[in-house]
Amino acid sequence: MQLGLVGLGRMGGNMRGRLRSAGHEVIGYDRNPAVSDVASMAELVERLAPPRAVWVMVPAAVTEETIDALAAYLGEGDLVIDGGNSRFSADAPRAERLGKRGIGYMDVGVSGGVWGLENGYALMVGGDDEHVARLAPVFEALKPQGQFGFVHAGPVGAGHYAKMVHNGIEYGLMHAYAEGYELLTASELVTDVPGVIKSWRDGSVVESWLLDLLDRALDDDPELSNLSGYADDTGEGRWTVEEAIRLAVPMNVIAASLFARFASRQEDSPAMKAVAALRQQFGGHPVHKRP
Amino acid sequence: MQLGLVGLGRMGGNMRGRLRSAGHEVIGYDRNPAVSDVASMAELVERLAPPRAVWVMVPAAVTEETIDALAAYLGEGDLVIDGGNSRFSADAPRAERLGKRGIGYMDVGVSGGVWGLENGYALMVGGDDEHVARLAPVFEALKPQGQFGFVHAGPVGAGHYAKMVHNGIEYGLMHAYAEGYELLTASELVTDVPGVIKSWRDGSVVESWLLDLLDRALDDDPELSNLSGYADDTGEGRWTVEEAIRLAVPMNVIAASLFARFASRQEDSPAMKAVAALRQQFGGHPVHKRP
Amino acid sequence: MQLGLVGLGRMGGNMRGRLRSAGHEVIGYDRNPAVSDVASMAELVERLAPPRAVWVMVPAAVTEETIDALAAYLGEGDLVIDGGNSRFSADAPRAERLGKRGIGYMDVGVSGGVWGLENGYALMVGGDDEHVARLAPVFEALKPQGQFGFVHAGPVGAGHYAKMVHNGIEYGLMHAYAEGYELLTASELVTDVPGVIKSWRDGSVVESWLLDLLDRALDDDPELSNLSGYADDTGEGRWTVEEAIRLAVPMNVIAASLFARFASRQEDSPAMKAVAALRQQFGGHPVHKRP
Amino acid sequence: MQLGLVGLGRMGGNMRGRLRSAGHEVIGYDRNPAVSDVASMAELVERLAPPRAVWVMVPAAVTEETIDALAAYLGEGDLVIDGGNSRFSADAPRAERLGKRGIGYMDVGVSGGVWGLENGYALMVGGDDEHVARLAPVFEALKPQGQFGFVHAGPVGAGHYAKMVHNGIEYGLMHAYAEGYELLTASELVTDVPGVIKSWRDGSVVESWLLDLLDRALDDDPELSNLSGYADDTGEGRWTVEEAIRLAVPMNVIAASLFARFASRQEDSPAMKAVAALRQQFGGHPVHKRP
């Protein structure tokens, strides 16, 4: 089928490739003319036969304005799919706004990272049944082969919600491996830390794709000595914990993983300064002065 | 090769099966005559040609006494392998004790659970090079096919250490999935929670064997309505956090997973009683009286 | 000075008493005629000489509508003070809305609970200098005697913000005592748990008013056997963690205290069901069936 | 009464002063001749009239050897008091060892830090009733005036146990304040952070001695700009969490406080390196290279 695709970065570019390999006609637009198929969003819409379907795959920070700009060219019967990492709470208002002009809306959480081109992308979809059915050929091409990798999770918003939880879990998984890895490196007994990690890749309870990737990273740099312990976060982890708070769900593990990322980006910790100050006050404990 | 095997429970029994399928001669002893090949530990040792290798696969609580009982029949050149879940700190003293009588000792952390018979077991080995080499055929048969699933992690103790960390990570991974699962069930948006879990099995960053098992459990019981939220712990999780404390390794995620298991087994929480009492004292907040 | 006071519940009623004892003229309105000085909000405003100052002390859930209803009777030069537990983010929009009609606005975080009548209330104030100066006599009467218990924390919103953080800290303090208390009760060594708590009330690093209250609760019920381990939360704890997330501040302790309250209210834990299901799947570990 | 005192550092020196002010005869020994009353431990014992009571107040690391050295000079009917921060588990074996030679043993947890000289020390005592009675005059002099500050917590070991829990709680309290402090400093709304802290010192639910000390520290250095966020830990926090693990007590708050201290001492976090490596692997996310 024919699909418009807005955003041809790391994710969007690969998706265009995978869709074309599956025989779909993809017309892509990106602000970067070097990768764009058309000169403007207007031309993109013009080149698509109505009723159009346009997949938006841009950073969360510019999704709202991108969809608004796009929608100005669209009309009755067209369909917008947000495959980016929007907060789920943005979906229902967006669907309502577009719906007033007869434009459909779906949200799709997309997982798979840079590996998706080859392996396929796990897709979590929120939206109406008719819209899901309409995009079925696209989903079929993007998802991995086999029986998994796709779910119609619920109405508009449910796709981003499922993706948000997915990423929250991802934070927790990564940090569990990370803590175990650190303990191994601290141990006096274990002499082959990368070997231990590698051994778990088959037959162990902790085998996973993330573990494969950790092994891969250790193959390249056995002590991770080229890296700093600094990690950004991209929104979904925060939203997951916010939702846990809203719904009164205990979430110590994922929250701790998120807080560890916050701490990794601090040059110094105001909280620990306060602790040091208190210890000095009551116990006369020595403090470390700033140089 | 010929191997003695003490302990033919869920793990040991399956390992005997897997070893025999690979053509090894296994003589097994268990206190339960229904599964045992020999009538006594003495007979087991008698049936083995020196220098003997005896693999002990019994619950951690009885490993020490089992090895002591076994060692009474063994002598110079024999080799004891502890494949159970001993605390790593027990290994060096044990090796020294046995070593005084010329008996070798290795520790092997074994992962794979009830699935090992078919898939093979991930093996983490601690001990001397010569002992590891001597058992190589046995390791080869037990481990999964393919390039992973085995590591010589270091000297005596390192095998149990690696397995301990493995299980600590396992606690964290399980709880990360569990928190995400709970949030999905609490959400008003996601209408197909088992479907979301299932979709992640391929192409997603969180795919893993544990996720496959969660999906399997939800296939059987989509709301887990037949289960209570009660989970035991079997030692390795506690030891992992104890080691983190000893080595000053921050371990919020795995510790939180462990504490959640503790809490799951409490009928009521003394800590939360204290919180309720305090709220009543300072704010006049209503409390829940015990029935 | 003359002050209108809307809301004469546990907090407002006591504050009226404390203000009157200090010689101020307080006209109070409450929906409950048994405690109200006037029959209606209209009458309240009528009885106050312009420029009026009206302090609103109602539950957070009805603060917005109460202020809107009140403001309908107020005009240029009047001043509204919100002493309730509003989320700080509600303050600036409220101030702007009222400001358009010439009505001033201040937010005051009030701590002290049921003890404030006698001891005075700690006051955290957000607003313009001129408004703070205008209410100075009221603040002077409400706050404890001595040099502490009052701060002009910043512009509109800062009072509620400071109170929010205050309550977040309170969650953490309470839970730290609670965990220590639980460990004492679990110990085989300590035979006089209430005695230990009591001993800390003087000369120890952990002495505090909360500790005094815990001792008091244990005097009444030495094993807290009349209480259930169930604790509500009233908003500020959640907002504190939400703010930590927004501002990338690591907050493991206060978040854990909040999550413990969530868990205390669950009949069963969906997360722990998932953990139990996983353990059964991979290890054949026994599970607890629901009765 | 007459008391021998071994160890005249920050704590022991002040205690000698406080005891002498109360009219007791204290003979102190310290390896540092500048502060010692006698030239050797032998002379100390010689100067005491049997049955002797000797209070040992030395760093935990050297307590065992100090008591052994001291005990060599003591005999039937003498009494040793360990007022240092020994792990409670060392007490029973020590009592048994001394008891074989007729020497009594008590353990006393002492809180109060550098402020104890003036304010008195909170004392948590473990031991036999007769020994507690014998030392009553000493306890009376050391403890704060008033009704609190002393407990006979249980048999030998219970004093150190209570002190251990006290310190574990202290970790949690300090970190709760520290997190709240950090959030205040991060806020755009609160313009007077030290003022907010100071205001809580009276009339608020979070008032405490630790809060007074935090205020004091901020008086000296309003932004704590002379300090690094680096905090040591001295054993009791670790032991508290270890005990929680042994007794299956959930302890997220105190554990998180302990882990934060560990993290404060790391130049870089191996765990966060692993997280960064994973993010790079699956998402192509940029990493921070080490300089």
Shortest distance between the Cα of C260 and any Cα of chain B, in A, equals: 8
Positive/negative CA dihedral, D4, D6, D11, D13: positive
Per-window interface: B 35-74 vs D, CB < 8 A:
none
Q: Which residues contact A62 (CB under 8 A, 6 or more apart)?
A: none
pLDDT tens, residue by residue, D136-194: 999 999 999 988 999 999 999 999 999 999 999 999 999 999 999 999 999 999 999 99
Rounded to an integer, what distance in angstroms lies between the CA atom of residue C15 and that of residue A101? 55
pLDDT of residue C242: 98
CA distance D159 to D143: 14
Give the residue-averaged pLDDT of B95-112.
96
Residue C116 has pLDDT above 90, yes or no: no
For residue B282, the model assigns a pLDDT of 85
Q: Which segments of chain B belong to CATH 1.10.1040.10?
A: 164-270
Residue of D248, D260, D271 with shortest CB distance to B262: D248
Which of A205, A251, A262 shows the shortest C-beta gap to C249?
A262
Model confidence at B13, pLDDT cuts 50, 70, 90, reads very high
Q: A37-74: per-residue pLDDT in tens?
A: 999 999 999 999 999 999 999 999 999 999 999 999 99
What are the start and end residues of each CATH 3.40.50.720 domain in chain C? Answer: 2-155
Cis peptide before B291 (omega within 30 of 0): no
Q: Which two tokens stand for residue B11?
A: 């793990």
* Residue A4: alpha-carbon gap to chain centroid: 21
Structure confidence by residue, pLDDT tens digits, C224-274? 999 999 999 989 999 999 999 999 999 999 999 999 999 999 999 999 999
Model confidence pLDDT, tens digit, residues B120-142: 999 999 999 999 999 999 999 99
CA dist B134 → B2, B17, B137 (Å): 11, 21, 8
D255 with B250: Cβ contact below 8 A: no
Q: Output the CA torsion sign for D26, D28, D34, D39.
A: positive
Q: Are residues D269 and B250, on separate chains, in Cβ contact within 8 Å? A: yes
Token couple for B288: 């829940």
Strand locations in chain D (E): 2-6, 25-29, 53-56, 79-82, 104-111, 122-126, 150-154
The two three-digit tokens of residue D13, written as one number: 């020196």
Distance from CA of A269 to the nearest CA of C (A): 9
Q: Which candidate in A170, A182, A267, A273 is catalytic?
A: A170
Q: Give me the residue from B241, B249, B262 closest to D250, CB to CB.
A: B262
Q: Please, where are the H alpha helices in chain B?
A: 10-21, 41-47, 60-71, 91-99, 116-119, 129-134, 136-142, 158-186, 193-199, 209-220, 236-246, 252-264, 270-283
**In the 8-state DSSP scheme, what is residue A35?**
T
CATH topology classification for D2-155: Rossmann fold (3.40.50)
Is some CB atom of chain A closer than 8 A to the CB atom of D23?
A: no
**Under an 8 A CB cutoff, do D249 and B265 touch?**
no
How does pLDDT run across B200-233, given as a tens digit for each residue?
999 899 999 999 999 999 999 999 999 999 999 9
pLDDT-derived band at B234, boundaries 50, 70, 90: confident
Cβ–Cβ below 8 Å for B228 and C273 = yes
Which of C205, C242, C250 lies nearest to residue A259, judging by beta carbons? Answer: C250
Q: Encoding tokens for residue C227?
A: 């209480």
What is the β-pairing status of strands C150-154 and B150-154?
unpaired
In Å, how far is B38's CA from the nearest CA of chain C?
27
Sheet containing strand C150-154, strands side by side: C25-29, C2-6, C53-56, C79-82, C104-111, C122-126, C150-154
Q: Please, which residues 190-209 of chain B have a Cβ atom closer than 8 Å to chain C?
A: 209
Q: Which element (helix H / strand E) includes C274?
A: helix C270-283
Minimal CA separation from A45 to chain B, in Å: 31
Distance (Å, whole) CA D256 – CA A280: 21
The Cα B150–Cα B148 span in angstroms is 6
How many CB atoms within 10 Å of residue C226?
Answer: 12
Hey, which residues does A126 pair with through a beta bridge?
A107, A154
At B116 the pLDDT is: 85
Q: How far is residue B205's CA from residue C245's CA, in Å, rounded to a whole number?
A: 23
B259: nearest CB among D205, D252, D260: D252
- Residue B285: is its pLDDT beyond 90? no
Contact D236, D164 (CB under 8 A): yes
- For residue C96, the SS3 value is helix
Q: Is residue C283's pLDDT more than 90?
A: no
| Residues in C touching A260 (Cβ below 8 Å) | 250
Q: What mean pLDDT do residues A172-178 have?
A: 98
Q: Is D181 exposed, middle or buried (CB count within 10 Å of its CB: 0-12, 13-18, 19+)? A: buried
| pLDDT for residue A230 is more than 70 | yes
Query: Mean pLDDT, to the nearest integer, of B46-66?
Result: 96
Q: Which of A164, A206, A214 to mutate to test the interface with B (most CBs of B within 10 A)?
A: A206
DSSP bridge pairs for B126: B107, B154
The 10 Å Cβ neighbour count of residue B229 is 26
What share of chain A has pLDDT > 70, as a percent?
A: 100
Q: What is the pLDDT along chain D (291 residues), one digit of tens a residue?
A: 999 999 999 899 999 999 999 999 999 999 999 999 999 999 999 999 999 999 999 999 999 999 999 999 999 999 999 999 999 999 999 999 999 999 999 999 998 777 888 889 999 999 999 999 999 999 999 999 988 999 999 999 999 999 999 999 999 999 999 999 999 999 999 999 999 999 999 989 999 999 999 999 999 999 999 999 999 998 999 999 999 999 999 999 999 999 999 999 999 999 999 999 999 998 777 778 876
pLDDT of the residue at D291: 61
Name residue D177's amino acid.
Y
| Greater pLDDT, B291 or B33 | B33
User: Scanning the structure block, which residue is given the tokens 């030495």?
Assistant: C222
User: Quick check: is A242 catalytic?
Assistant: no
* The token pair that represents B58 in the structure block: 């019994």
pLDDT surpassing 70 at residue C291: no
Q: Does D90 touch chain C (CB under 8 A)?
A: no
pLDDT digits (tens, 9 = 90+) for A201-219: 998 999 999 999 999 999 9
Angstrom distance (rounded) from CA D276 to CA A178: 10
CB-based contact B248:D248 (threshold 8 Å): no
**What number does CATH give the domain B164-270?**
1.10.1040.10
Q: How far apart are the first and last CA of chain D?
A: 64
Rounded to a whole number, what is the distance in Å from the CA of C274 to chain A's nearest CA? 14
Determine contact, residues B174/B257, Cβ cutoff 8 Å.
yes
pLDDT at A291: 61
Q: Which of C250, C254, C244 is nearest to C161 (CA)?
A: C244
Q: Which chains touch B (3 or more CB pairs under 8 A)?
A: A, C, D
In this structure, is the dihedral angle defined by the CA atoms of residues D250, D251, D253 and D256, taken in order, positive or negative? Answer: negative
Q: Is the dihedral of CA D115, D120, D124, D130 positive or negative?
A: positive
Give the HSE-up count for residue C133: Cα atoms under 13 Å, Cβ half-sphere: 3
Q: What are phi and psi of A169, to 5 degrees?
A: -60, -45
Question: Which value does ipTM take for this structure?
Answer: 0.95
Interface of C with D in 132-171 (CB under 8 A): 143-144, 146-155, 157-158, 161-162, 165-171
Q: Among candidates B67, B66, B59, B55, which has minimal Cα distance to B28? A: B55
Mean pLDDT computed over every residue of chain A: 95
Do the chains contact at C290 and B228, CB–CB below 8 Å?
Answer: yes
- CA-nearest of A229, B250, A255 to D233 is B250
β C2-6/C25-29 pair status: parallel
Please check whether residue B249 touches D, CB under 8 A: yes
Residue A227: the pLDDT is 94
Q: What average pLDDT score do residues C148-173 get? A: 98
Task: Indicate which residue of D163, D179, D242, D243 is catalytic.
Answer: D163
| Contact present, D230 and C226 (Cβ < 8 Å) | no
Choose the closest CB to B242 out of D242, D251, D263.
D242
Residues of C in contact with B285 (CB under 8 A): 232
pTM as predicted: 0.96
pLDDT of residue B86: 95
The predicted-structure confidence for D81-93, as pLDDT tens digits, reads as follows 999 999 999 999 9
CB contact C112 to D (< 8 Å) = yes
Size of interface A-B (CB pairs under 8 A): 303
Active site residue D267: no
Q: What is the share, in percent, of chain A residues with pLDDT greater than 90?
A: 91
